[in-house]
Structure 1
Amino acid sequence: MLSGPTSTSDLKTRTRADYNFFVSYRTRWSDNDQYSHINNAVYYHLFDSIINAYLIAHCDLSPQASDAIGLVVSSYCQFFSPLSFPDVLDLGLRVNHVGKSSVTYEVGVFCEGNTEPAAVGGYTHVFVDAVSRKTSQMRDRTKEGLQRLFVGPSCSKPESKL
């Protein structure tokens, strides 16, 4: 069974201390929408950026040089307060589930200096062979890197057949 997001009220109580890996993002004028706040689609760009930065730097997983890739099978985002250019953001990453072939990430989006998130979201990757697209077991080095960010009761939850 793949882990999904926790309740909105649980996500809203997250703080910086709930995340183990951070990167900064300086918003751009083009990130704003017509209502002068960060466009919803930009949040998914931010999630993808921090997750892939971590995978490349700490899990020995480069999209250009790997026999396995992670495909997004589900995603979510809960918005709590608006952000806009020229805010500087701190993105926090944690892992809520690690299985044999899947991982569920959570990203907290914080305005620089704030302890409460403006948004919390994430997605689930299922690792597949880069050519055949058949589910493949996660490499040991990838799994070890992901387990460093794991927050939860155990890493042995039953896996779906994805």
Structure 2
Amino acid sequence: MSVRPTPAARNSFAEFRQIATRWMDVDIYGHVNNVQYLSFFDTAVNGWYVDKGLIDPARSRNIFLVVETGCHYFAELKFPETIDTGIKVSKLGSSSVVYEIALFKEGEAEAAAQGRFVHVLVDRETRRPARIPDAMREVLMGLSATT
């Protein structure tokens, strides 16, 4: 049995992406439904890839697929809120990238939720793992630094 982590600190992330909650994210209990948190993880990481020119979702020969994800919840997120999504690389393999991701309410020092997100670079056609090119690796390594 694993030990429940403590909420991550905002200052342990150097890269942030903002995501606005949507009306449709909220469930009958009045908070963002748990499944949306993983969608926020996916949106943050893939948006970062696109902004850095690492992938073109429609045309890149190699694409990233999620092979593992998980989340710990500490505080409710609601609508309307802007979420600051901290992302960093915790491990970089030959074809895989392990991310630590935390969702912060705007201005809060501790994460409302945090998790792990594992991507594997694969050939779009064969879906077989592909080696992360050196230029891409260099950009990814820049995301492993924290302030």
TM-based fold match above 0.5: yes
- CA 1:39–1:65 in structure 2 vs 1: closer, same or farther (change >3 Å)? same
Task: Give the fraction of aligned pairs with identical amino acids, expressed as a percent.
Answer: 35
The answer for the alignment partner of 1:67 in structure 2 is 61
Verify: 1:132 aligned to 2:126, yes or no. yes
The alpha-carbon deviation at position 79 of structure 1 amounts to: 0.2
Q: 1:84 aligns with which of 66, 73, 78?
A: 78
Structure 1: 5+ residue runs without aligned partners?
1-5, 153-162
Measure the CA separation in 1 of the matches of 2:141 and 2:53. Answer: 10
Amino acid at match of 1:127: L
The answer for the alignment partner of 1:104 in structure 2 is 98
Amino acid at match of 1:33: D
Measure the CA separation in 2 of the matches of 1:43 and 1:22. Answer: 15
Structure 2: 5+ residue runs without aligned partners?
none
Verify: 1:54 aligned to 2:48, yes or no. yes
Aligned residues: 145
Measure the CA separation in 1 of the matches of 2:51 and 2:23. Answer: 28
Contact kept in structure 1, 2:25 and 2:33, CA below 8 Å: yes
TM-score, normalised with respect to structure 1: 0.83
What SS does the corresponding residue of 1:24 show, helix, strand or coil? strand
TM-score, normalised with respect to structure 2: 0.91
